[in-house]
Structure 1
Amino acid sequence: MADEKRAPSSGSSKAGAQHTEAPDGLHSAAAERGFAATDENGQSLVQFDPKAEARLRRKLDLFLVPTVSLLYLFCFIDRANIGNAKIAGLEKDLGLKDYDYNALLSIFYISYIVFEIPSNIMCKWVGPGWFIPAISLGFGIVSLATAFVHNFAQAAGVRFLLGVFEAGMMPGIAYYLSRWYRRSELTFRLSLYIVMAPMAGAFGGLLASGILTLDHVGGVTGWRMIFVVEGIITIGLSVISFLTLTDRPETARWLTQEEKDLAIARVKSERVATTEVLDRMDSKKLLLGILSPVTMSTAFMFLLNNITVQGLAFFAPTIVRTIYPDKSTVMQQLYTVPPYVVGGFFTLALPLVSWRLDRRQIIIILSTPLIIVGYSMFLGTANSSARYAATFLLSSSLFAVGPLSNSQVSANVVSDTARSSAIGLNVMMGNVGGLIATWSYLPWDGPNYPIGNGLNLAACCTVLLVSTATLVWMKWDNRRREGRSAEEELAGMSQQEIQDLDWKHPAFRWKP
């Protein structure tokens, strides 16, 4: 939208003169365009009433999180329900052979990866209040269309389009929420929608098993009913979200003017040298977001993590079938549910700890040991009970890296533009991992899949090494920055030049 390109003021131009007076004046001044909420050393100039912040936070949680969480739930269901459809007869009806199923999964990720960063840039330009509902409507329609494919070529076409529309969903929501929440608060709020990934595994399995007990839905039967029902639900939620999502605090009719000022000032107070929360897009800041060392390191870790996340999502039903081959299809679907419930709990618990500590990197490091043990069990035993237990260990830590990594790249850039490209790169790299995952469990590697499980074990061990090395580097570079003089380095520079430095600003510190 045209108004997305400017950052409206929240008060008169005299507001900046109030920034040493009463708290309400501070909020208004910090919200004003052209007023920086930090000094040249990056220290906040504004103080906030904790009770007013708590009231605002509860209001944001109520009006923002439920809608994006439901949309992401069905985004993930519409992506992963092909795994449920596979064991319900999709392969046979479409005449898939050899690696055709893996190819279908890969086609989705090709478009998903290609459109990731462009989608998040478009989300900033159009405005998330319109963009997120629009792409949700798109992948709902495509999911519905999947029920009517009859061969590999048609299935490949709809999977490609599904990737186009879903590409902007995860990074778009992460970027959207970063407009509203503080750095420490963001991780837990991201987990409230990313928890829908393991919940989609649980709910998707329950929903698929329930749908398959029906004789027909309209004129379709069997696995096709899964796509019809879930596609229609997604379309309905998308239409509602056009009415419920708000672009930014300034346009939120459900906030008072004082609450709008507070919402803007809170975000500003953590962004060194920032005079406007929603800056104009330019290529320099887009590149700074992508080239931040923490962005690149975190994105690589998320790539490795997503090999395991997406592998579990797509192949959990197949793995369960190899563990319990004598069970009915409905029972096999139901066996996929409990590990995802456990995963959902830890996807909220670990980011909650991160919120309280305002730390993300150490939580990423601590998320790896259980995954290593889980894949070691897959490789070390053919016992059905032990291997099923291993799926609980995997889901307990895998999904939490999503909110932690997106929050980490968001916390370690300054401008809104850099944030959009940093999150876009992180999720794009994560989906490169998803593409790799589609080829990690090959038909000839079954039933124990040593190659697939070995790949995932190696990926998780690498995450442990890279995340630890990154934490050490962040602390080292922060100590190096302590010896720099912000006054000397910024002398003679204009406000815009200072603001354009982003994470290269001498007063900026990496947030571990």
Structure 2
Amino acid sequence: MSAPHPSAAEHGQNGGQTLEKHDEKASHVHEEDVVDAAARGHAATDAHGHSLVHFDPEAERRLVRKIDFYVVPTVAMLYLWCFIDRANIGNARLAGLEKDLGLKGYQYNILLTSFYISYIVFEIPCNLLCKVVGPGKWLPFLTFGFGLFSMLTGFATNFSNAAAIRFLLGIFESGMLPGIAYYLSRWYRKAELGFRLALYIVMAPLAGAFGGLLASGILKLNGMGKVHTWQQLFVVEGIITMGLAIISYFTLTDRPSTARWLSDEEKALAIARVKSENVGTTEVLDKIDTKKVMRGIFNPNTILTSVIFLFDNITVQGLAFFLPTIVATIYPNATVIKKQLHTVPPYIVGAFFVVAIPFMTWKTGRSLPFFVFSAPLMMIGYIMFLASKNPQVRYGATFLITSGAFVFGPLCNAQVATNALTDTARSSAIGMNVMLGNIGGLISTWAFLPFDGPNYPIGNGLNLATSSMILILSLVLWAYLIADNRRRAKIDVDTKLAGMTEKQISDLDWKHPGHRWRY
């Protein structure tokens, strides 16, 4: 590690603690001691948010590569099957689910709604439990649960028990997206986080593509006893998910300090890196505190970003449930298998943008400009849907929509995570973001109604309106954060913090006068 920040000597205290370690015969600060102290309960910034230590860039690069290799693939695989198990009902619908269950009128939409009721209600509680239990145990537990209930969906015989199973499925799936986002925030710097979130959230569009391919393959099977056609989708995919959950229980590392694959020096570096960007914090994993929970939820950045995510999820979740249906209206004479396969290419293009745009946010250090860039892609796509009945034009529109819509998953979760300073506030902020986002998912279940087909002007018009609101709110959020940073720059930080205890300073979270919004 390189020498500490020049301001360390001048601003080396935060809440009465310092990172400086003086030798009896020398007054200089030892680099390893500084990093070790930052990892062991001392603040890693001064009161003004300046990092008290610089890190060796090469050591950081080696550490990040190791974290990428050990952490990201596991959570990405879990989220892939989470999305497959949630969205396979759209493929099952094409394969005869409605007929076999005797669904009539709006019962398919009600079936989707039953999932989202539990999915929304349990969002924040699940993420707080993730913090209490630890992601290393909690995420595999959730994965096994939604794999089990996905499998049981294949044995549903009527609307009532199918709706009950979907409700229980929603409970277990509710903790996955926010839980993984929170988990990754334990490992990565703020600028790095968005791209790493993208590496698992990209599994959502890939699940749409892979789910379509998998569905077409499973539907070709002759059946397994009394299990046939659409039932096979749920049973096979559920069993695979439960198997992955058992494996992940033994492979998912809870936090840097328990990682057997990190040396003691790497553990200290991993912890100090995260703390060095959060002014006023003295520990990475703090105890749950009601005030910090509220700071995360009622953070103005969290609220506005969550509303943006709500509007975006009307499109994202609508695509998951209804894209096969929409493709069927574009290619009405195609076989069921070909209709499934036509859903794959738009998801592949969407997956490319999910990775490419967060990668650019990592390299530029900016996120909101890409909010503003992505929303018009969705708007243009829905204008094409509304303005033309040509199948090729409409199919082309789905590519634009997936390109713009899916990127908001990593962008919104990174935006709320990087602007919440304490671990508890970050957990509740991410939970709040995903909870409001999934209210958008609930709305999406009623966006494409039977009487609106085959062109669905109401559903497409709604999505044009929501994508337009995303653009407007992104500009509002950007302007607010710039203005508030200017206001904060005029505050006398030392005077504001005078007489406050370490806990009181930590509880300030985003209200800490030394905090600056990232956008």
| TM-score strictly above 0.5 | yes
Counting only pairs closer than 5 Å after superposition, residues 6-85 of structure 1 correspond to structure 2 as 16-17=20-21, 21-33=29-41, 35-85=42-92
Offset, 1:287: 0.2
Offset, 1:20: 5.8
CA–CA separation in structure 1 for the residues paired with 2:402 and 2:321:
13
The structure-2 alpha-carbon separation of the partners of 1:20 and 1:78, relative to structure 1 and needing over 3 Å to count, comes to: farther
| Paired position in structure 1 for 2:4 | none
**Deviating runs (4+, > 2 A) in structure 1?**
13-16, 18-26
Counting only pairs closer than 5 Å after superposition, residues 350-499 of structure 1 correspond to structure 2 as 350-499=357-506
Q: 5+ unaligned residues in a row in structure 2: which ranges? A: 1-16
Alpha-carbon RMSD across the aligned residues, in angstroms, is: 1.2
C-alpha distance after superposition, 1:15-65 (max 9, x if no partner): 7526962432222121111x1110111100010000000000000001000
Offset, 1:360: 1.3
Q: 5+ unaligned residues in a row in structure 1: which ranges? A: 1-12
Counting only pairs closer than 5 Å after superposition, residues 95-106 of structure 1 correspond to structure 2 as 95-106=102-113
CA–CA separation in structure 1 for the residues paired with 2:421 and 2:405:
28
Identity %: 60
C-alpha distance after superposition, 1:433-478 (max 9, x if no partner): 0000000000000000000000000000001001101100100010
C-alpha distance after superposition, 1:256-314 (max 9, x if no partner): 00000000000000000111111110110000000000000000000000000001111
**TM superposition score normalised by structure 2:** 0.95
Q: Quick check: 1:15–1:32 contact (8 Å CA) kept in 2?
A: no
Does the alignment pair 1:129 with 2:133?
no
C-alpha distance after superposition, 1:60-119 (max 9, x if no partner): 001000110000000000000000000000000000011000000000000000000000
CA–CA separation in structure 2 for the residues paired with 1:222 and 1:204:
15
Offset, 1:365: 1.3
C-alpha distance after superposition, 1:145-202 (max 9, x if no partner): 0110010001001100000000000000000000000000000000000000000000
Does the alignment pair 1:324 with 2:328?
no
Does the alignment pair 1:248 with 2:252?
no
CA–CA separation in structure 1 for the residues paired with 2:201 and 2:28:
40
| Paired position in structure 2 for 1:7 | none
CA–CA separation in structure 2 for the residues paired with 1:422 and 1:314:
27
**TM superposition score normalised by structure 1:** 0.96
CA–CA separation in structure 1 for the residues paired with 2:396 and 2:320:
16
CA–CA separation in structure 2 for the residues paired with 1:30 and 1:44:
10
CA–CA separation in structure 2 for the residues paired with 1:122 and 1:265:
25
Match of 1:233 among 240, 263, 274: 240
CA–CA separation in structure 1 for the residues paired with 2:318 and 2:258:
40
Offset, 1:378: 0.4
SS at 1:226 equivalent: helix
The structure-2 alpha-carbon separation of the partners of 1:15 and 1:476, relative to structure 1 and needing over 3 Å to count, comes to: closer
Does the alignment pair 1:194 with 2:201?
yes
Q: Quick check: 1:16–1:32 contact (8 Å CA) kept in 2?
A: no
Offset, 1:216: 1.0
CA–CA separation in structure 1 for the residues paired with 2:56 and 2:33:
12
Q: Quick check: 1:136–1:234 contact (8 Å CA) kept in 2?
A: yes
CA–CA separation in structure 2 for the residues paired with 1:278 and 1:305:
31
AA at the equivalent of 1:158 = I
| Paired position in structure 2 for 1:9 | none
SS at 2:154 equivalent: helix
AA at the equivalent of 1:131 = W
Match of 2:230 among 216, 223, 240: 223
CA–CA separation in structure 1 for the residues paired with 2:173 and 2:257:
27
Does the alignment pair 1:274 with 2:278?
no
AA at the equivalent of 1:46 = V
AA at the equivalent of 2:29 = E
Match of 2:158 among 128, 151, 161: 151
AA at the equivalent of 2:104 = K
Q: Quick check: 2:19–2:52 contact (8 Å CA) kept in 1?
A: no
Offset, 1:247: 1.1
Give the number of aligned pairs: 499
CA–CA separation in structure 2 for the residues paired with 1:449 and 1:277:
49
AA at the equivalent of 1:26 = V
